[in-house]
């Protein structure tokens, strides 16, 4: 400790920050001044007890610069993987808006523990066939005919609102995942 200088509980500003703050009177003899009531009790960058508090404003360039190369790679991989739920959500929204109400043609075939398959007729006399979501083995066992569907050329569901509900869940999952990945990257940078 240098004689004549008191030890401050506030950390010294880094040289570049000290040069920045020199003109606004926030640095006094190399130590940051304590928070005052007129600046809200705390100052940007320093908490009430002198601990560092990161400002909430940041840019993508600052975020990437603050990460190690392997952390950048992991962050990029996670963000790419989190695009997949948005793709599924977009697919379900497209199905919700472009499908047609129809009925099965003939009987459906359902595996005992798997999906049901069948055929249906679309507008314009187009034939559709494929997996039908929402049916159970009972539909095959009872030989049900003319089951109402909401369908496209190669897909069908028994409940149209299920498409929208899944799209919302998938989009929320993707958005929350991206926020978590970016928050972890921001905390590590």
pTM across the whole model: 0.62
Cα dihedral 66→70→73→79 (10° resolution): -70
Task: Identify the band that residue 64 occupies on the pLDDT scale cut at 50, 70 and 90.
Answer: confident
Residue 56 has pLDDT above 70, yes or no: no
What does the pLDDT read at residue 94? 96
d(CA 36, CA 65): 33
Q: Express as a percent the part of the chain with pLDDT over 70.
A: 69
With cut-offs at 50, 70 and 90, classify the pLDDT of residue 168. very high
- Cα distances (angstroms) measured from residue 133 to each of 59, 108, 115: 44, 12, 7
In angstroms, rounded to a whole number, what is the distance separating the alpha carbons of residues 71 and 145?
Answer: 56
Average pLDDT rounded to a whole number, residues 114-141: 87
Whole-number pLDDT of residue 27: 46
Q: Which residues does residue 27 pair with via DSSP β-bridges, in sequence order?
A: 32
pLDDT at 37: 52
Structure tokens at 114: 């798997």
158-173 b/e with 16+ CB inside 10 Å = b?
beeeebbebbeebbeb
Per-residue pLDDT of 24-44, as tens digits, reads: 444 444 444 555 555 554 444
CA angle 68, 69, 75 (to 5 degrees): 90
Element (H, E) at 171: helix 160-188
> Average model confidence (pLDDT) for the chain?
78
Average the pLDDT over 161-182 and give the result: 94
The most confident of the ranges 21-25, 28-32, 62-66, 151-155 is: 151-155
Q: Is the pLDDT of residue 50 over 60?
A: no
The tens digit of pLDDT for each residue in 84-101 reads 999 999 999 999 999 999
Beta strands in the chain (DSSP E): 27-28, 31-32, 100-103, 109-110, 116-122, 126-133, 148-151, 156-157
């Amino acid at each position: 400790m240098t004689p004549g200088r008191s030890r401050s509980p506030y950390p010294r500003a880094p040289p570049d920050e000290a040069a920045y703050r020199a003109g606004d009177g926030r640095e006094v003899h190399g130590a940051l001044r304590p928070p005052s009531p007129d600046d809200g009790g705390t100052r940007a960058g320093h908490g009430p007890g002198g601990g560092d508090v990161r400002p909430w404003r940041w840019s993508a360039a600052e975020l990437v610069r603050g990460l190690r190369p392997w952390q950048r790679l992991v962050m990029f991989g996670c963000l790419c993987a989190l695009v997949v739920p948005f793709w599924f959500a977009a697919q379900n929204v497209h199905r919700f808006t472009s499908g047609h109400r129809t009925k099965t043609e003939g009987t459906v075939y359902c595996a005992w523990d798997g999906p049901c398959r069948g055929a249906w007729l679309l507008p314009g006399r187009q034939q559709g066939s494929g997996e039908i979501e929402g049916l159970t083995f009972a539909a095959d066992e009872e030989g049900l005919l003319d089951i109402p569907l909401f369908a496209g050329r190669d897909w069908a569901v028994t409940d149209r609102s299920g498409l929208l509900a899944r799209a919302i869940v998938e989009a929320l999952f993707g958005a929350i995942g991206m926020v978590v990945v970016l928050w972890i990257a921001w905390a590590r940078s």
